[in-house]
Amino acid sequence: MSSYRSLLAAPGVARIIGAQLVARFPFGMLSLAFLLHIEQVTGSYGAAGLVLAATSIGQAIAGPLTSRWMGSWGMRKVLVTTLVVSVVVVSTIALVEMSVPLYMVLGFFAGISTPPIQPAVRTIYPKMVTSQQLTPLFSLDASAQEIIWVLGPVITTFVSTQVGTVWGIMLAVVIMVVGGIWFIASPEVGRVRIPRSRRKVGQVLAKPPVLLATVVGFLLIGACSAIEAGVVATFGHDGLEAGIVLAIFSVGSLAGGLALGHVPIGPWALARRMFVVFAGVALAALFLNAWWLAVTLFIAGIGIAPALAVLFAIVSSSVKFSDTAEAYGWVGTGQLIGAALGSAAAGFLIDESGPSGAFWAAIALALVGFVVPALGKRWHPDLRGRDASPLADTEPVPIQPS
């Protein structure tokens, strides 16, 4: 823990971690918030799944494109534009009752306007710390990210079930505004300029570690989202047990991220962590009661943040600095699509076979998430004894005064 304290003592690190955490927090809330709201309005989890699928398409298009635009137009211009559009569209979904097709159209625009916070901050990190501190920083950040993906739905569940689904979405909007302004105003966002990439859009996916990280991130977050929908369906809209179980899920992930943050990253690192997630989820499906789910999902959570830390490290160590924003854009897109489609698939299966269907979806996603890195071990960089800094570009990268 002393290494984390020294890391947070580095100039600007604690501030930028806090700002990006708050700025990205709503996107761990909105998939489930949309699911609950659209289901309440239409009476169908399947209809809610269609809206989430439209959202995921928008996110798939946005991720790599907005990341590249930051290299052309600057981080702040892209972040401000996407933030304003996202706030307007998401607020409209919450406040205006409409047909499912119109919800789908707005869901698409909500997805395509997702601010590229993740690729921005992942690109900034290597310019803030030494190469030896970068992997622990990714581990700490992964633990913080898990707060987004797991604790976010806990808050959404509580507010949506106890106050109302409109308030669940609008709370996310308020946090989006506060966090977005905080992050955009951070000096580091104005100080670091991303050089224009010389590659065509999508070419960075030809790097096997980037493709591996994108696919596994999709499967991991998809499994988490299916679990969240399954837990909510198990205990109902008015069940406090859902929030408690999901909170314990998040505690497991935080514990795993902090405990395993300094474990060397070898070729089997990602497969081992994903196996922990799969094992916990598989056990959870056996008995759908609060005590059993709390224990088994805590076990599953232990593998989540460490797996995310490995994803960030293998991407950073495999691409040039000018390509990092787009690479992380693809990884973020994979995770956002996973969140939306995991919830969507779970929604359809809940309609067909009850809450257990969502857990079977999570099991399938987590199993594939273990098999893919196991089979793709040769594409997994061996970072034992190496730092995770991006590869050097062939020309200087200017640092602009904030």
How many domains does the chain contain in total? 1
Q: Is 337 contained in some domain?
A: yes
Q: What is the pLDDT of residues 76-99, one digit of tens each?
A: 999 999 999 999 999 999 999 999
Q: What is the pLDDT of residues 8-19, one digit of tens each?
A: 777 888 899 899
Res. 123: pLDDT tops 50 = yes
| 0.85 exceeded by pTM | no
Q: Does residue 154 lie within any of the structural domains?
A: yes
Let me know the angle formed at the C-alpha of 37 by 116 and 337, rounded to the nearest 5 degrees. 35
Beta bridge pairs of residue 311:
none
pLDDT at 402: 47
> Is 387 within the bounds of a domain?
no
Q: Is the Cβ–Cβ distance between 126 and 393 less than 8 Å?
A: no
Q: Would you say 302 and 86 are in contact if contact means Cβ atoms under 8 Å apart?
A: no
CATH label of the domain that carries residue 354:
1.20.1250.20
Whether 18 is covered by a domain: the verdict is yes
Flag whether 395 is in a domain: no
Mean pLDDT over the full length of the chain? 84
Runs of H (alpha helix) within 28-151: 30-42, 45-73, 75-95, 100-112, 117-124, 131-146
Q: Does some domain include residue 397?
A: no
Is the pLDDT at 201 greater than 80? The verdict is: no
User: pLDDT band for position 175 (50/70/90)?
Assistant: very high
Tokens 């809206």 belong to residue: 51
3-state secondary structure string across 176-234: HHHHHHHHHHCHHHHHECCCCCCCCCCHHHHCHHHHHHHHHHHHHHHHHHHHHHHHHHH
Which pLDDT band holds residue 52 (cuts at 50, 70, 90)?
Answer: confident
Any domain includes 307: yes
Q: From CA 323, how far away is CA 286, in angstroms rounded? A: 44
Residue 6, domain member (yes or no): no
Domain that residue 169 falls in: 12-192+200-379
Q: Report pLDDT for 222.
A: 92
Instruction: Look at 68-72, 116-120, 261-265 and tell me which has the smallest mean pLDDT.
Output: 261-265
